[in-house]
Amino acid sequence: MEILKYTEAHKNFRERLRGFLVKEVTPFADQWERDKSVPKSAWKKMGQGGFLCTDVAPEYGGRGGDFLFSLIVAEEMTRTRQTGLSTLLHSDIVVPYISAFGSEELKKKYLPGCVCGDIVTAVAMTEPGAGSDLAGMQTAAVEEGEEVVIDGSKTFISNGLNADIVVVAARDPALENPYEALSLYVVESGTPGFTTGRRLEKMGMWSQDTAELFFSKCRVPQKNRLGDKGMGFLMLMQKLQQERLVCAIMGVTGAEYILEWTMNYCKQTSISGKPISKSQAVQFALVEMATDVKLGRTFVDKLVADHMEAKDIIVETSMAKYWTTDMLNRIANRCLDLCGDFAMSEKCPIVRAWRDAKVMTIFAGTNEIMKNIAAKFMGM
């Protein structure tokens, strides 16, 4: 029994997206890895194809699609062997803050560009001294007349160099309660006082531009605040369910891709005249991994269905985020072992997948934080 019900529109969308990626993305993955960035033209092509921000309402240029369109994009993008064109971050994590909490003026100003690819987005929460702990955030936002003056710094910001607008989390230093002091602001690139720092060198996800951001007396209009003042923490909590679900989707899909490639490799590679896949030890390893992947897929698909019904699944998405990304790393590591000497070469696709997998246990809240969240909601 299928948990998710795909319509013909969904199936046609997947087929069209898959054809687009084969032509416009996958052939350039290796070059983007070497360049450690993705050209803006790739974003515009994605937008022109109708593959960005699929849930945005038609009045702002979107298709008004359900979350299954986002799921399809997540699955197909994960199989492109690149991470720089981080459309999932843009479409399903950052833009929803504007769609859900932005004023009508902000929606009309920014959403059409986000949909067509003219505007690339980023979200700035992590700081040098505050990662998963939002209460420890120090970036300040002080009101002065009709403006807000932002001072502080952010780090490990994906799309940090390519971003045209950034959703910045900052706090009012006059308020003691950190959960009531946080607000979200849309800051445009080129705003005086807002500068991007160096491109960060990372273990994996080389093609994704990850940077430091600096704010020094950066003035933005108060109307660029999302929602009411002091509601930033609640808005972040509300949207983190979808962010963590997207991470879980990426974890499962990544594991499926790695396992599929490894199974084919084991069938096609022979030792002493016999395919590796005929070894009982290899068979056991592949079956065990396939079981994990199927369990993860079933769990995630059920959560997607629950999310589409607007159910509160904070505990479950926290569980899924940590389990699927841990599982992805286990499978990447074990598949590398099965590749033998070939795993020493960059020509082996699993090498890049192994590198890219590690950070999945860290961003969107570390897996330890996911367990803390689940424990608290479970009354522990």
Q: Assign 281 to helix, strand or coil.
A: helix
Phi-psi region of 225 (alpha: psi -120 to 50; beta: other; left: phi over 0): beta
Q: Which two tokens stand for residue 226?
A: 């999302």
Active-site hit among 243, 256, 288, 346: 243
**Which residue bears the tokens 């990850």?**
210
| Cβ neighbour number for residue 36 with a 10 Å cutoff | 18
**Which residue bears the tokens 């159910």?**
311
CA gap 258, 260 in Å, rounded:
6
CA gap 19, 11 in Å, rounded:
12
Q: What b-and-e string marks burial along 213-223, b requiring 16 or more CB atoms within 10 Å of the CB?
A: bbbeebbbeee
C-beta separation of 140 from 191 below 8 A: no
C-beta separation of 354 from 228 below 8 A: no
Q: Which two tokens stand for residue 253?
A: 């899909």
CA gap 193, 218 in Å, rounded:
4
How does strand 194-199 pair with strand 210-221?
antiparallel
Residue 153 burial by Cβ neighbours in a 10 Å radius (0-12, 13-18, 19+): middle
Closest CA to 73 of 304, 370, 336: 304
**Which residues on adjacent β-strands are paired with residue 183?**
170
Q: Write the CB contacts of 16 (distance below 8 Å, at least 6 apart in sequence).
A: 49
CA gap 12, 69 in Å, rounded:
11
C-beta separation of 119 from 47 below 8 A: no
Size of the chain, expressed as the number of residues it contains: 380
Q: What b-and-e string marks burial along 307-337, b requiring 16 or more CB atoms within 10 Å of the CB?
A: beeeeebbbbbbbbbbbbbbbbbebbebbbe
143 part of the active site: no
Q: Which residues are catalytic?
A: 243
